[in-house]
Amino acid sequence: MSMLLRRPLLGLYRRTAGRQMLAYFDELRRTEWLSRDELLALQQTKRQQLIQYAYQYVPYYRRTFDALGFHPEDLRREPSAFQRLPIVTKDDMRQHYSEFITTHPTVRITLTPRATSGSTGEPFSFWEDQRSRESFTATFFWYLTWSGCQLGEPSALLWGQTDGPKKALSVRLRRRFTDYLFNVPITIPASVLSDEAMALLVRRIKRFTPRVLLSYASTLLVFAQFVRRQQLEVRFGAAHTSGEILYPDQRRYIEETFGCKVFNRYGTLDNRGIACECERHTGMHLNVASCCVEIMRNAVPVEDEEPGEILLTNLTNYGFPFIRYRVKDVAQWLNQPCECGRRSPRLAAIQGRVGDLFRTTTGRTVWSAGFDFEFFKLKGVKQYQVVQKALDLVVVRLVRNVDFPDAQIQIVEKKLKDMMGSETRIEFEFPDHIPIATSGKYRYSYSELTES
């Protein structure tokens, strides 16, 4: 059923349940080609509204703003006053959890509990209001249109976990109805990537012929490897990846397997739909109507294209506001205009998590993402994982095929010592399998010293 036929159903759903997703989607389409000044003015207005609301209805922000001598009207007179506001961390939200929840009764009744997977540390719980949920759904489908998939065309989702019995029946029914309305006939949990699950996915793809497939980069790579191994013919109009770093070799392999372009997105569960690649595939355009991104280095905003740490303000979630929230991701700006004609600010590819930083005995820091280019070149490696256990100890886990040359072990050890220092001990483990996290994500490399 096309979106033309589905819109009356959606209109009925909106009138009976107060859903505004389609209105948000139409707003995003209207703002897509605004000038840079118009986009930033829109973002500033939304930021002002959020700060005003948080001061009035969210105890944590009222208390901290007052302690700073800050009032929302200061921001109206001087937009740069925003940078006076304190940086918020997960620890702040855990310690003052109840103070971050809105006291506004109309918004409170729309709140839904959510939690991050804890794949990079302790799981984190928060609340999301109806405005934020529907804004994200609109953003999800808006990004699909950038790859030529129109609203209502079939798409497939290989993502996260399935809605188990612990999920409220109303939540499961609402998700199924939304999937029907927007033609998402295939939703497979990425946390279970057995050959049987992937064979089922192929059968469903053949049946429903989705226009686009969205998944984590590592999960999509595993599915592409399965398709090649089984010598299957699976094609899409486009693939979208999110939730992880997308490496060049992964992109190339996926594109060659499915005969389509990969569109990389950036988002987190607590601040979703942040940015996406356009058809030019040169950086990711920010969704300025839904979020505000700062890139900081040594507590100072980065104006050039040097890397820094992301602070993010979610402009849609009034139920549990994230204002100048430390995401623990590292990125950099792309300051040149994009040839596509969109004038929204752009991020270069996300460089990694703060937890992806390896520290050496001499005080240097090394981005573990740099290791991946070396491991992708190895022959006979089904899976790998690199974990820093101590300043002078790195553990390498390799799942090998029968054609793995043992001489590669010395090559890997030398490469890692070149990066980390000759005093670093490299230990190897050879498991039969490295499990994917319950989130559906797979961590290629991380440091246990920088997880907090």
Domains, the chain, ordered by start: 3-350 (3.40.50.12780), 354-447 (3.30.300.30)
Least confident of 24-33, 108-117, 141-150, 223-232: 108-117
- Is the pLDDT confidence value at 173 over 80? no
Please give the share of the chain, as a percent, with pLDDT higher than 70. 82
- Helix, strand, coil in percent for the chain, rounding step 5: 40, 20, 40
Backbone angles phi, psi at 35, to 5 degrees: -70, 165
Q: Would you place residue 163 in the very low, low, confident or very high pLDDT band (cuts 50, 70, 90)? A: very low
Residue 426, C-beta contacts closer than 8 angstroms, at least 6 positions apart: 394, 396, 412, 413, 416, 417
Q: Are strands 284-286 and 275-277 parallel, antiparallel or unpaired?
A: antiparallel
Q: Name the one residue in this structure whose structure tokens are 């033609």.
A: 183
Q: How many CA atoms lie within 13 A of 189 on its CB side?
A: 11
More confident residue, 288 or 350: 288
More confident residue, 294 or 137: 294
Q: How many CB atoms lie within 10 A of CB 245?
A: 20
**What is the rounded distance in angstroms from the CA atom of residue 382 to the CA atom of residue 364?**
31
Q: What value does the mean pLDDT of the chain take?
A: 85
Q: Would you place residue 182 in the very low, low, confident or very high pLDDT band (cuts 50, 70, 90)? A: low
Q: What's the pLDDT at 329?
A: 87
Q: What's the pLDDT at 165?
A: 44
This model's pTM is above 0.75 = yes
Q: What's the pLDDT at 164?
A: 45
- Is the pLDDT confidence value at 253 over 90? yes
Fill in the amino acid letter for 196: E
Least confident of 35-39, 358-362, 440-444: 440-444
Q: What's the pLDDT at 452?
A: 43
- Find out whether 219 and 198 touch, Cβ atoms under 8 Å: no
- Find out whether 411 and 442 touch, Cβ atoms under 8 Å: no
Please give the share of the chain, as a percent, with pLDDT higher than 90. 51
- Find out whether 213 and 183 touch, Cβ atoms under 8 Å: no
Q: What's the pLDDT at 438?
A: 61
Q: What's the pLDDT at 261?
A: 97
Tokens standing for 90?
């997960």
Tokens standing for 68?
């700073």
- Find out whether 448 and 356 touch, Cβ atoms under 8 Å: no
Most confident of 87-101, 213-227, 353-367, 398-412: 87-101
